A and B are shown apart, each in its own frame.
Chain A
Amino acid sequence: MMHILEKKKLNQILTGWAEKYEVFAPQKVENYSQFLPFTDTSELTLDEPHNTRLPPKALFFPQSEVMLKYNSRRHKLEEVEFAPKPRILYGIRPCDAKAVTLLDTVFDTEENRDPYWKARREATTLIGFGCTNPPQTCFCTTVGSGPFNHDGLDAIQTELDDAFFIEVLTEKAKKLFEGLPTATEEQEKQIHTKQDEAYKSMTPAFETKGLKQKLDLIFESSYWESISESCLGCGICTFLCPTCFCFDIVDEVQRKERIRNWDTCMFRIYSQEASGHNPRPSRKERTRQRLMHKYSYWLDHIGEIGCTGCGRCVRYCPVGLDIRAMLRTASTLESEVVHA
């Protein structure tokens, strides 16, 4: 069953939700879009064909998170009060929702349970926005996701003319759309055709079968040197990546706070050890690490590729490095013997 949400009623629905929830929706910031709290003056960017520039992982795993405070008067460590309000993420793209489920396998497992991540995850309902016109920088279907993938979502909407058609996927989302009219069989058929067309419009960007084995075999290849030559070594691809999760914990002494910050394997200091030794001394090792992590190590850990094909690293790389092209070339290389 699909609900019909007429576009002209969207504002009213979001305003209604905002009474009980904190509602985040993609909005215009400068020339890009970003998830921000919805207010009556919000300028939504639902017409943008792709995702927001900053990945929504930031709403679960903020770039800087205060974990502890030091009270210098009482010489005591104090916990930071943390109780996220119920919230709705409206308009998250399927690639980004899938990324959140991948990050669950990092932040919410039997051995490692991050209370901040878990609390925010539980407090959040994800309303997805399927992609009817996937841009050419996107490659979700190549990595096992898709423009209408349901992973991680509580509901998903498809745009058709003057309305959004909502498929409710979980109990959590059910009450949000109560009372909305339901689509006719004819309309549902139209929606499914549209979704199929979106899938068909995306051609495979590279072959994933055997890719991990190949990457493992070419670990020592000089190929990594050649692709890292133009890499600037900035943090764009990893900070904008919806599945990158590395962090560094620092004490901001003057503010008496212990803070967890995003970190990135693309920086020299990420792997710099106190002794002065750096196991990833050059861009060659660091560029390799990013690709190996996504396309080999994630598979070792959970059997899935750690990339959802969101296209951000392709779109925003300042030197135009394209992970798809890198992987295509990698898979054609002669295998080299790995050191035991």
Chain B
Amino acid sequence: MTDLIIKLKTEIKRLFNENIVDVVIAFKKEDSPLRPQPAFFRPNDSLEDLEYNSLCQNNLANYLTKYPHETRIGIVVRGCESRSVNALVVEKQHPRENLYLIGVPCQGIVDFRKLVYQTGEEISGYSENQDEITVIFKGKEYKFDRQSVLHDSCFRCVHPNPVNADVLIGEPLPEGDSSIVRKSVESFEALTKEERYAWFRHEAERCIHCYACREACPMCYCTECFVDHDPPRWTESSVSPAGTQAWHIIRAFHQAGRCTSCGACERACPMDIKMTYMTDKLNEDMLKLYNFESGMDDKTQPPFSSFNLDDKNRFVA
């Protein structure tokens, strides 16, 4: 058990003992070391299976909206997750006073698929340190440089430290290099219109409409998604180019000023579809045009959902 897990358990026990929360959302061990699973601990539950490492690949903020507002939720949050929580608080999805954020500075999520592609799936052991990931595959040890197996969006991460956490477990990390994400946005922008469209089609049209990207995203919490609406039907539900393109473009648009670049959508996708190239661009636009980054506090409305009468642009004709 790592030192971090011991500290997490101590903190969670304290929260229950002092009756601060009703439930704690964290991760637990599963049979395969590669796939820790979101877990929901209640006051009398054993914390023995609690897990925390870089393979914890889901954005736990996703589960906040499943609870009534009265539920006092403790939640383990990394940089992006804390920002998703903040963004949800801004959108009134859970009152901040009923949340207790257990912050953990994050070195990035390891993409388990990148490990499996290089070894095979029979990985029976996993350990990590600051620079290296070690797995045991069929009795043999394999070491990977951490950076080389990070999930792409974590490789580009700018804010690894939890924002607004109630307690911080672990030492804060230096902020990420924002030129990495800029470079990836610029390389997409440098393409011609035709090339960009070809790229978009190549990605979007593999879509099988399983909506795992939507379900994995904390900001996609609508009771009824636009693709499920009937009548009127806003898009085709068939896996035609029109249906899949509409889904991918509108999903991205709905994220403007709300996405925290956690990459949970891509990690959930069963067809390896890239989606963050669109949201990264939108995030960059929000920063450039409105000096706004989603979830950096729990008060500021995203530019597209706020208005004021002094707005210099005439947005109402």
Chain A interface residues (CB < 8 Å from chain B): 29-32, 49-50, 53-54, 63-64, 135-137, 229-230, 232-236, 239-240, 248, 250, 252-255, 259, 261-262, 264, 267-269, 315-316, 318-322, 325
Residue among A53, A236, A322 with the highest chain B CB neighbour number at 10 A: A236
Not counting A136-B32, A269-B230, a sample of 6 additional A-B residue pairs whose C-beta atoms are within 8 angstroms of each other reads A64-B243, A135-B121, A137-B121, A230-B39, A236-B210, A322-B30
Residue on B with the closest CB to A250? Answer: B237
Q: Could you say which residues of chain A place their CB within 8 Å of the CB of B197?
A: none
Interface SS of A by simple majority: loop
Q: How far is the CA of A269 from the CA of B209 in the complex (A)?
A: 14
- Distance from B125 Cβ to chain A, minimum over Cβ atoms (Å): 13
Is A31 in contact with B272, judged by CB distance below 8 angstroms?
A: yes
Chain B window 195-220, contacts with chain A (Cβ cutoff 8 Å), 1 for yes, 0 for no: 00000000000101111101110000
Residue B277, interface by CB 8 Å = no
Is B206 in contact with A29, judged by CB distance below 8 angstroms?
A: yes
Q: Could you say which residues of chain B place their CB within 8 Å of the CB of A264?
A: 210
Residue B145, interface by CB 8 Å = no
Is B208 in contact with A54, judged by CB distance below 8 angstroms?
A: yes
Q: How far is the CA of A316 from the CA of B215 in the complex (A)?
A: 14
Given A32-B272, A64-B238, A325-B30, A318 and B40 contact (CB-CB distance below 8 Å): no
Residue on A with the closest CB to B114? Answer: A31
Given A235-B209, A319-B37, A49 and B58 contact (CB-CB distance below 8 Å): no
Q: How far is the CA of A54 from the CA of B239 in the complex (A)?
A: 14
Per the 8 Å Cβ criterion, residues 114-131 of B in contact with A are 117, 120-122
Q: Could you say which residues of chain A place their CB within 8 Å of the CB of B34?
A: 320
Cross-chain pairs A/B with CB under 8 angstroms, 25 sampled: A64-B239, A64-B240, A64-B243, A135-B120, A136-B32, A137-B121, A229-B40, A230-B37, A232-B62, A232-B215, A233-B215, A235-B208, A236-B212, A239-B208, A239-B210, A254-B236, A255-B240, A261-B237, A267-B211, A318-B58, A318-B212, A319-B58, A320-B37, A321-B37, A322-B31
Interface SS of B by simple majority: loop
4 shortest interchain CB distances as A-B pairs: A320-B35, A235-B210, A318-B268, A234-B212
- Distance from A138 Cβ to chain B, minimum over Cβ atoms (Å): 10
Q: How far is the CA of A137 from the CA of B208 in the complex (A)?
A: 22
Q: How far is the CA of A229 from the CA of B41 in the complex (A)?
A: 11
Q: Could you say which residues of chain A place their CB within 8 Å of the CB of B215?
A: 232-234, 318
Q: How far is the CA of A262 from the CA of B208 in the complex (A)?
A: 9
Contact of B270 among A49, A236, A255, A321 (CB under 8 A): A236
Chain B interface residues (CB < 8 Å from chain A): 30-32, 34-40, 57-58, 62-63, 113, 117, 120-122, 206, 208-212, 214-216, 228, 230, 233, 236-240, 242-243, 267-268, 270-272
Q: How far is the CA of A87 from the CA of B62 in the complex (A)?
A: 45
Given A230-B37, A320-B30, A259 and B238 contact (CB-CB distance below 8 Å): yes
Q: Could you say which residues of chain B place their CB within 8 Å of the CB of A318?
A: 57-58, 212, 215-216, 267-268, 270
Is B122 in contact with A135, judged by CB distance below 8 angstroms?
A: yes
Contact of A252 among B58, B63, B210, B238 (CB under 8 A): B238
Q: How far is the CA of A230 from the CA of B58 in the complex (A)?
A: 10
- Distance from B232 Cβ to chain A, minimum over Cβ atoms (Å): 10
Given A233-B215, A250-B237, A49 and B39 contact (CB-CB distance below 8 Å): no
Q: Could you say which residues of chain B place their CB within 8 Å of the CB of A315?
A: 121
Q: How far is the CA of A2 from the CA of B94 in the complex (A)?
A: 66
Q: Could you say which residues of chain A place their CB within 8 Å of the CB of B210?
A: 234-236, 239, 264
Q: How far is the CA of A49 from the CA of B120 in the complex (A)?
A: 9
Is A261 in contact with B238, judged by CB distance below 8 angstroms?
A: yes
Residue on B with the closest CB to A238? Answer: B210
Q: How far is the CA of A253 from the CA of B237 in the complex (A)?
A: 11
Residue on B with the closest CB to A137? Answer: B121
Residue among A53, A235, A264 with the highest chain B CB neighbour number at 10 A: A235
Is A31 in contact with B37, judged by CB distance below 8 angstroms?
A: no
- Distance from A312 Cβ to chain B, minimum over Cβ atoms (Å): 9
Q: Could you say which residues of chain B place their CB within 8 Å of the CB of A137?
A: 121
